[in-house]
Chains A and B, each alone.
Chain A
Amino acid sequence: MENKQLMMGNEAIARGLVESGCAMATSYPGTPASEILSSVAALEREFRTGMHVQWAVNEKVALEIAYAGCQAGLRTAVSMKQVGLNVALDPLMSAAYMGTKGGFIVISADDPGPHSSQTEQDSRLMAMAARIPVLDPDSPRQAREMIEPAFRISEAFGIPVMLRPTTRVCHARQDVASGVIVDLKRRPAFEKDPARWAATPKFRLKLHGDLERKLSEIAAHAPTAPVKLNAGPKRRARAVVASGVAAAHLKEIASDPDLTDRFDLYQVLQPFPLHAEFIEEMGRYDAVLVIEETEPVIEMQLADRNRVQGKLFGPVPRVGELLPEGIESIVKGFCKMPSNLRTAPAGGRRPTLCAGCPHRASFFAIRKAAPRGIYTGDIGCYTLGLNLGAVDTVLCMGAAISQAAGFYHAYKHTEKPPDIVAAIGDSTFFHAGVPALIDAKVQNAGFVLMILDNRTTAMTGGQPTPAASFGATGNPLSPVAIEPLVNGCGVEFCRTVDPYQVNETIEALKQALEFCRTRGPAVVVARRSCLLERGPEAKAERIGIPVIVSDACDGCGYCIKHFECPALVMSGNRVSIDPAVCTQCGVCLNVCPKNCICPA
């Protein structure tokens, strides 16, 4: 009997990996991909196959580690979110040329919407640029089922293979049948072949030729060819082509009574390289509608522009997530049927930092110490510092530091250069902040860097950072501490504070600002565990300072607007504390300009 379990898409992918004998899995956390590696780690803890499971310092490092494993003949995989792929693109472009020995899967999770990302970029387009095949699952079940074929393509053709799930696959849950955990018992066997593994430009040309040959063969690989999903009408008039979760929406829409057999419905499993025979087949229809997220990757490969509709030419929106109601109305239009698109009302509450979050205290201190400063921000929970007016820029991982340096250089010849304060999380500092800090030191850039060290990668669910002393499976590791690293970058001012001690933190920031005016970057480490952390350090740090709002509160709302703690609520014409939400951090004692928030 099949053993069906409720699995999140990311768990199903993890399941697929361990059931295919994957021997090394690496990742850097990022929504919507994070749970892939944590699920692999959970399976490794349970079944102990001896798999190497690790969070790497960033996606580039993660990819390089996993790639070496496949060079040694093992099956390996690396997972990340789509913007993480940008970081890992350098090794990927080259790995495509050199190819693989053991199977190698690059899982890059896209986020059309975007729900939790800086961009809506399409990793399939990156696969196309790197010249590697990409598979596009429509559900948790299919995501799991695609892992073994992906390893097979990789091994049969000697090429890295990408799996591109989207948020609606990663964060869907479905009943998924699980199979057996497989240990292939392969021994690592790296065969030296410098002409391939360390190729000079002359040999790269040959490798490029090999790569293109592999791709044309993969475009005829039967197991990943497009599938026809319905019986369709008798005459071949209209075809609808979809991939990924758009295909899942379409399966359901195409079975609506008024749409049954109005068109032939195809699902593309491998958007690049698109199967040559399929391209030819589509030429036989009067009209073809392509529905895919988020770039017209399939559409571009269909040659006959006059008959093909989609995002390049046609009714499919180029931005945003394709919701099933939107697809329904597009398909009805394509079939010349009337449709009324019901759109959802816009709005909703914006996210905010948790009640008692140490970042809120840090941002409050930044605003106090440098009230008219330029605040460069970074990627993490603390991006939400923008609600508090303490984050002016968010570009990409690590950019808080390089942008602070950039603003310093831009303003350095002006009469009164502004104070510049960069805020970056601990995990992000390790990820891409360190080279930027070295550069800032070398260039003598005057700004203050606040490292918001909450001892975890909080936004993505609390993965360990390099400063933790344990890894993905809870395995003991040798941590790297932040302060010596800062000193090692040559920075001479490095002070560590507890952000809950608001006045002390403001004072440290002021001294840092003074220092940086003449002596290059200064660092303040604000250390206090994320409230969602449950470890011993976090427990030891807990404090309880009950607070009340006195009767003198006139309801001006200053605290709610500028501090935005979810536990401070307007009730009637004054503010009160919601005891169910308040964590008794006591930080708000410093906030009310009329001192109406007091110890209970």
Chain B
Amino acid sequence: MDRSTDQQIIVSGLGGQGVLLVSRILAESAILKGFPVLTSEDHGMAQRGGTVVSHIKAGRFSSPLIRPEQACGMIVLAPENLPLHQHFVGPGGWMAVNGTASGENYPDRNLFAVDADALCRKIGQPRAMNLVMLGFVLGKSDWNEFAPSFFCNMAEVCAAVRERFPEKVSASAIPALECGYEAATGG
């Protein structure tokens, strides 16, 4: 499996949806694998329900921001953000969207949609949509639906969550990740 180390990923959502947690988990996973990592986050005013976006760059980078068309993929927690942030993803890249979305407008990218809101309610964790989405992306990648595949796999992300986050976080995060993962691989 080719897991290219230099990868740039966008996580897009609204303040309160947990964009920051997803980007922190990815950054910790990168460090655990020995990759240099840089992320950029939105804090302050925007966190109150406004549009927020995180940039994650694993590998040899110096700038914390991703230029248009240079991201290999994007996790979209709020489908309304898709037209706002799709320009970051280069041709052939993947876009994983929470909710219903169609790839029609983006013929040169691979769009995967999943109703993560419904999935997290089903497992009794209505606020864990963000991690269900991350699990979903890992599932797609581990089953070779991304090229190149994501810089880390499910096992590595779970290890990072267990090792780097308090027990309280990991105890609820792992089932949410697994829920998304199964949706990607089983459905």
Contact = CB atoms under 8 A, between A and B. Distances in A.
Contacts of A351: 15, 45-50
Given A6-B31, A173-B41, A325 B68 contact: yes
Interface in B129-186: 164
Interface in B32-69: 36-51, 61-69
B163 to A, nearest CB: 12
A125 B132 CA distance: 46
A416 B15 CA distance: 43
B44 A459 contact: yes
B133 to A, nearest CB: 15
A345 B84 contact: yes
Contacts, number: 129
B31 A342 contact: no
Contact of A175 (B23, B31, B80, B84): B31
B44 A381 contact: no
Contact of A172 (B28, B39, B46): B39
A325 B41 CA distance: 18
B110 interface: no
Interface in A290-335: 323-325, 328
A323 B65 contact: yes
B103 interface: no
A460 interface: yes
A493 to B, nearest CB: 32
B109 interface: no
B127 interface: yes
A349 B14 contact: yes
Interface residues of B, number: 45
A347 interface: yes
Contacts of A5: 31
A213 B51 CA distance: 49
Given A139-B62, A342-B69, A349-B80, A172 B42 contact: no
Nearest to A579: B126
A245 interface: yes
Interface residue tally on A, bucketed by range: 35 or more
Contacts of B48: 351-354, 381, 384, 459
Given A172-B39, A173-B41, A174-B37, A345 B87 contact: yes
Nearest to B49: A352
B27 interface: yes
Contacts of B49: 349, 351-352, 354, 566
Contacts of A459: 44-45, 48
A324 B45 contact: no
Contacts of B38: 139, 172-174
A402 interface: no
A446 interface: no
B5 interface: no
Contact of A350 (B28, B50, B85, B127): B50
Contacts of A103: none
Given A245-B63, A325-B68, A345-B83, A173 B27 contact: yes
B157 to A, nearest CB: 14
A344 B87 CA distance: 7
A353 B48 CA distance: 6
Interface centre among B37, B38, B69, B121 (most CB of A within 10 A): B38
Contact of A173 (B14, B37, B121): B37
A367 interface: no
Interface stretch (A191-199, A248-256, A403-411, A420-428): A248-256
Given A171-B40, A173-B39, A351-B47, A324 B81 contact: no
A251 B63 contact: yes
Nearest to A117: B44
A387 to B, nearest CB: 10
B68 A342 contact: yes
Contacts of A252: 61-63
A32 B83 contact: no
A169 B62 CA distance: 11
Contacts of B45: 31, 115-116, 351, 383-384, 459
B101 to A, nearest CB: 16
Given A115-B42, A174-B38, A175-B37, A580 B51 contact: no
Contacts of B85: 344
B116 to A, nearest CB: 12
Interface centre among B36, B41, B83 (most CB of A within 10 A): B41
A348 B64 contact: no
B88 to A, nearest CB: 8
A248 B63 contact: yes
Contacts of A116: 43-46
A528 interface: no
A85 to B, nearest CB: 17
29 contacts: A31-B44, A115-B42, A115-B46, A138-B62, A139-B62, A171-B42, A171-B43, A172-B41, A174-B37, A174-B39, A175-B36, A245-B63, A245-B64, A248-B62, A249-B63, A249-B65, A251-B63, A252-B62, A252-B63, A253-B63, A323-B67, A324-B63, A342-B69, A344-B68, A348-B84, A352-B48, A354-B16, A384-B45, A459-B44
Given A6-B31, A324-B63, A325-B67, 18 more contacts: A32-B43, A32-B44, A168-B65, A171-B41, A172-B41, A173-B39, A245-B63, A249-B63, A251-B63, A252-B61, A252-B63, A323-B65, A347-B84, A351-B15, A352-B49, A354-B48, A459-B44, A459-B45
Interface of A: 4-6, 8, 31-32, 115-116, 138-139, 168-169, 171-175, 245, 248-249, 251-253, 323-325, 328, 342, 344-345, 347-354, 381, 383-384, 459-460, 566, 579-580
Query: Which 5 A-B residue pairings sit nearest by Cβ, starting from the closest?
Result: A116-B44, A348-B51, A31-B44, A351-B50, A172-B64
